[in-house]
Chains A and B, each alone.
Chain A
């Protein structure tokens, strides 16, 4: 076997100063995380909210005597849906159209924007209510509507606040509890017509003020655009789960309902839906069932609900994700957000470093699956995890997030192998493999490394490592390695024993 150039010390590449090259494009996870870690107030709020939610969910799971069995069943339900997705989608289309719902197919966000804008403009409406939905944010429907002269109104409290504050869609608008109260109050005061100026930052009062504002909009608007939690293939119906009930109110009072849903939202049957509703609720809020569950079977002929119902089925990377290794496992996700609140990384850095509408551990897995790993940002996401597995422990549908991340890490590295100039890391890893392929080479490299490390040490501690390794010693020491590694001690003992 040919000897690589850095045979003496496989880590030599990592010791090179300036070895790190910053690739162009959107920032990597670590770059944004460095900024968000500075926001100590948000960190504290996230930690507190996380602890509260963890406790609630733990209580919820404890109340469910057969939680593990339920979880397995829910996982199987998701597996059934995804294993035969095309078939179920076609069944959904057929059943939905039979009941008068119009089904549209969109390959990418641009097609979603086109379809939705055409539908809304076609009704002649100048306003539309949008409910909180990652798919809506992901596809940029609100902005497209605004561009077409339709005013989009956000219906969920957190989204409203985010919209008023003109936050980008990546802002942490997942739950009002995660928002900084004082900031939310300022935003409301600035933007809500008629909000009292002595509005306290008490969340209950804030919610009321915002809700008053919302209700008027919801009841006035002729077009409602929502996401969906589940699409039932068997019945062609759309299921929406909420804690506030705004989407139901908006959709009920609208003439036209447009549902924008990823193709992964399919469930095969109503019995599969049943177990998913229960596990989802326990995982999302800890309750046996979330307060508002709405199932839309199709247009309402008695005039109680929307007269026109459209469902836009969105691919936007989902079939690509499904075809990738571990992609199907990740797409099981039912977006309950339980994994976010147990994640030590998310708790510290928040949503922004994930750079997409899907934060947290599952976001780190789904975003590269949906968008590919070609950019610095998406390629950094699979590495944004300690692989501690807390996410997999709580997931109600058995997504093994660390396994998916490992699969994606291998993909990122394999893609880099094709580059003509290897990265310093890859040279180091490949030389390390060569060194570790033989115990004599290993022992020799170890002896060299120990000598060098001991030269760097003062009073038994290494306070500064060179090059890329120096990231460790920015805030941590490394003990000076003892002169004699275990294997050398073992050999000496054996020789002394004459064994």
Chain B
């Protein structure tokens, strides 16, 4: 099986450690992963901002770049959702988009395809998980990330109050409605604080940009990490460098 890795633009530029951790983890589990170098963007930003024409061009390009793969894995839940939800609609107007292979979010790939819940990770911290709203599956009730985290040695998983709630990012929303976006994340930080976690993790660097951005401004005592970094850490070595 030819597995392609898709790295979203936010991850690529701001949080490359997420992508390295994803690669590291998949290779440690014995999967061979390709990184098609032509990749740029799945078109999500354009699509959610209303620039559908541009989004469709980028979708056709994405489909072409990954057409040699049987399956694409990405540490960005919202990009996986974009390809799975919007592409079929685009494909009715541009058949080139239909060539895109199936795209799975990292935790889906691990649990559903690789059939691995214990990835052999070691992470001795108290951790909570913030679900990504725009995930391919409804985040309310997706047990995959929690199962993976529970299997990590040393990790104490604590519940996040109002677990299914949005962090307030919403792409363009974070700018166009900055005040509301901040009001939402402020409440979210309170929930994270109440959970007692030392680390909050998520399956999308977009959510983490929002949460870590607010934590950083307030000098919060909680670290925000992508779940890939948590799962990539072992007794033998920490996750490849880079917290946030």
Interface string of B1-25 (1 = CB under 8 A from A): 0000001010111111101100000
A37 within 8 A of B: yes
Task: Give CA–CA (A430, B51) in the complex, Å.
Answer: 8
Residue A476 at the B interface, CB < 8 A? yes
Q: Does A429 contact B (CB under 8 A)?
A: yes
A479–B183 touching, CB < 8 Å = no
- For A441, give the chain B residue with the smallest CB separation: B40
Interface of A is mostly: helix
CB–CB B214/A429 < 8 A = no
B214 to chain A, nearest CB (A): 5
B93 within 8 A of A: no
Q: Which of B102-110, B150-158, B161-169 contacts A (4 or more CB under 8 A)?
A: B161-169
What is the size, in residues, of chain A's interface with B at 8 Å between Cβ atoms? 63
CB neighbours (8 Å) of B14 from chain A are 478-479, 481
Tell me whether A386 is interfacial, beta carbon within 8 Å.
yes
- The answer to whether B52 has its CB under 8 Å from any CB of chain A is yes
The answer to whether A450 touches B51, judged by C-beta atoms less than 8 angstroms apart, is no
Checking A37, A382, A406, A486 against B180 with a beta-carbon cut-off of 8 angstroms, the contacting residue is A37
B114 CB within 8 Å of chain A? no
The residue that A37 contacts in the complex, of B183, B210, B213, B242, with Cβ under 8 A, is: B183
Cross-interface CB contact of A349 among B54, B86, B180, cutoff 8 Å: B180
A304 at interface by CB-CB < 8 Å:
no
Q: Are A490 and B35 in contact (CB under 8 A)?
A: yes
Interface string of B187-230 (1 = CB under 8 A from A): 10000000000000000000001101110110000000000000
In the assembled complex, B116 has its CB within 8 A of some CB on chain A: no
Find A439's partner among B38, B171, B182 (CB 8 Å cutoff).
Answer: B38
Partner of A410, one of B50, B164, B176, B180: B50
Rounded to whole angstroms, the CA-CA distance of A468 and B213 in the bound complex is: 17
A7 sits at the interface (CB 8 A)? no
Please name the residue on chain B nearest to A442 by beta carbon: B40
* 6 nearest CB pairs, A to B: A386-B170, A409-B50, A476-B213, A413-B50, A388-B133, A388-B166
- Beyond A389-B133, A477-B213, 11 extra complex contacts between A and B, CB < 8 Å: A383-B177, A387-B48, A436-B41, A437-B61, A469-B175, A472-B174, A475-B178, A479-B14, A479-B213, A486-B7, A489-B16
Q: What is the interface of chain B, defined by CB distance below 8 A to chain A?
A: 7, 9, 11-17, 19-20, 35, 37-41, 45-52, 54, 57-58, 61, 86, 133-134, 138, 140, 164-166, 168-185, 187, 209-210, 212-214, 216-217, 242, 244
Give residues in A with beta carbon < 8 Å to B.
29-30, 33-34, 37, 43, 344-345, 348-349, 380, 382-390, 393, 406, 409-414, 425-426, 429-430, 432-433, 436-439, 442, 446, 449-450, 461, 463, 468-469, 471-472, 474-479, 481-482, 484-487, 489-491
